[in-house]
Structure 1
Amino acid sequence: MATSTRPTALVTGASTGIGYELAKCCAKNGYNLIIVADEPRINDAAAELSGFGTGVEAIEADLAKREGVDKVLDKVASRRIDALLANAGRGERGSFFDQDFGAVKRVLDTNITGTLYMIQRIGQQMRSRKEGKILITGSIAGFSPGPFNAVYNASKAFIDSFSFAIREELKDHNVSVTCLMPGATETEFFERAGLKDTKLGQMKKDDPADVAEVGFRAMMEGDGDVVTGWYNKLQTAIANITPAEMLASQHRKVAEPGSGTSAQPPR
């Protein structure tokens, strides 16, 4: 298939981890790519992904800032986006009361504000032509209050809920919305968020390629959500019947700084 006739996927947070693997799934399945991240490594990712014989455009932009989202939107203004994979995310370790509020705001601006702005603008185009697919990376963290990850978990609870709301709004316009809800995944997220000395940071994690494959397949099938991995499915089922105070207490044991141990928790 000539690259000019391929559908186009826009993938955010695509320099590494789940985002990179989602972009790879798109490339393998006939999509041209527009990939975005807030670091120069997005250009290295583009070079690697072009090896799949697809057209790849890399955009370095900070999606925590409105001007960063506008930079992306300006570059794709004349392009038809067939699939939006909104994956960019950020976390911050430690007690909320010890965190710099600028860092707190950056988590919220990345995970919520910038993500919603991107989804609204691209989603408007999809709604107008009555066709498109949106995948939003939420998290099973959204099912539980998260002491020492309070803002991150709350932001994912917002995203998990938001995805179902807009799915309902778009269902009569032939635009599907899928929420990918992974558990702990082997990415640079834990190092960037300063979680390496916690039990959460040291526990066995899922393979980002496996997570992305499950998410991509769910998006293509138009599913409303997908939780990856049997252990994560079990956790969410338990969370639905467990009091919030107990969930918070359990989360503290794995997320409090210095809680890390060389012993692996059961999976």
Structure 2
Amino acid sequence: MPSGVTDAPRPLALITGASSGIGYHLAAEFACHGYDLIVAAEDDGIIGAAATLAVIGNHAEAVQVDLRQAESGRPLAAAALNAGVGRGGKFVDTELDDDLEIVDLNVRSTMHLAKLVLRDMARRNSGRVLFTSSIVASMPGSFQPVYNASKAFIQSLAEAVADELRDTDVTVTSLMPGPTDTNFFHRAGLDDTVAGRMPFKDDPATVARQGFDALMAGKSKVVASSATTRFMELANRVLPDSITTLGNRLLSRPIPH
């Protein structure tokens, strides 16, 4: 090797919920920008996603089981905590186990993984973490109350930890998508709703690119992706809860036949 030339390892990024949708496109952004990847999801699609991402980048390792067991032996330069699930229906009608599944994945596992990742980054004084939140984080969630509450938790956590680490070289960013063209609505049983049937949902690749760019720029949060989504987020901040609750109700309740 010529003098002064080092074979430096590529930075490593962890992306959860990466088998499809925003998570997959976030992983693609990292791959295109020179990162090796650990990609994680609960479904079999993560294996194929990792193979495709490896073509884009240099190395992509798929993890289909407990996210806490993803141990690479290398420090993470970045993590995108994107895994999440929703479920439509009235709180009094949905099954407790289904609601607890949302809490376990969206809140408990995300917080647990963030604790492990951010402690290591804080010790090294280097790293970037992206939380996928939602514009519904500040909107009472009729017909998907547990999902909205879980995103409110994530948004609050992300903003608080970003503030705690403001004097370090570790950055924390929250990505706040609106209705996006992914499998979310189908998996949540929201196909037969106004939100599920919206013809012009945001493009997941565009949302992911905006989240990645905000992460690299060290921004504390970014609202993605379209003007409609940004208007919805602004309305959430300035309108009373009674109005935003009504808006969410109209979007999320089943369409009467």
Q: Tell whether the structures are fold-level matches, with TM greater than 0.5.
A: yes
Aligned to 1:64: none
Deviation per residue, 1:184-206 (Å, 9 max, x gap)? 00000110000000001000200
Does residue 247 of structure 1 match 2:216?
Answer: no
TM-superposed deviation, 1:107: 0.4
Q: In structure 2, how many angstroms separate the alpha carbons of the residues matched to 1:247 and 1:53?
A: 42
* One-letter code aligned to 1:120: K
8 A contact 2:129–2:173 mirrored in 1: yes
Q: Give the whole-Å Cα distance in 2 for the aligned partners of 1:230 and 1:254.
A: 18
Structure 1 residue corresponding to 2:116, chosen from 102, 118, 121: 121
Alignment of 1:1-267 (within 5 A): 5-61=9-65, 68-72=66-70, 75-76=71-72, 78-203=73-198, 204-228=200-224, 229-258=226-255
* Separation in 2, partners of 1:59, 1:250: 38
Using the TM superposition, give the Cα deviation of residue 173 of structure 1 relative to its aligned residue in structure 2, in angstroms: 2.4
Residue 178 of structure 2 aligns to a residue in which SS?
coil
State the 1:53 CA deviation.
Answer: 3.4
Structure 2: which 5+ runs fail to align? Answer: 1-5
Secondary structure of the residue aligned to 2:167 is helix
SS at match of 1:156: helix
Aligned-partner Cα distance in 2 for 1:187–1:4: 36
CA distance in 2 between counterparts of 1:168 and 1:208 reads 28
Task: Write the letter of the residue equivalent to 1:39.
Answer: D
- Structure 2: how far apart are the matches of 1:99 and 1:46? 34
SS of the residue corresponding to residue 92 of structure 2 reads helix
- Structure 1 counterpart SS, 2:166: helix
Between the aligned partners of 2:9 and 2:121, the Cα distance in structure 1 is: 18
Unaligned runs of 5+ in 1: 62-67, 261-267
Q: Secondary structure at the match of 2:191?
A: coil
Deviating 4+ runs (over 6 angstroms): none
For the 8 Å contact 2:35–2:57, the answer to whether it is kept is no
The residue identity in structure 2 corresponding to 1:58 is: A
Paired residue total: 250
**TM superposition shift of 1:259:** 5.1
Give 3-state SS (helix, strand or coil) of 1:5's partner.
coil
Aligned to 2:3: none
Q: Distance in 1 between matches of 2:43 and 2:194?
A: 28
Deviation per residue, 1:62-81 (Å, 9 max, x gap): xxxxxx23322xx23x2210
Amino acid at match of 2:51: A
Q: Which amino acid aligns with 2:252?
A: A
Q: 2:172 & 2:57 partners in 1: Cα distance?
A: 27
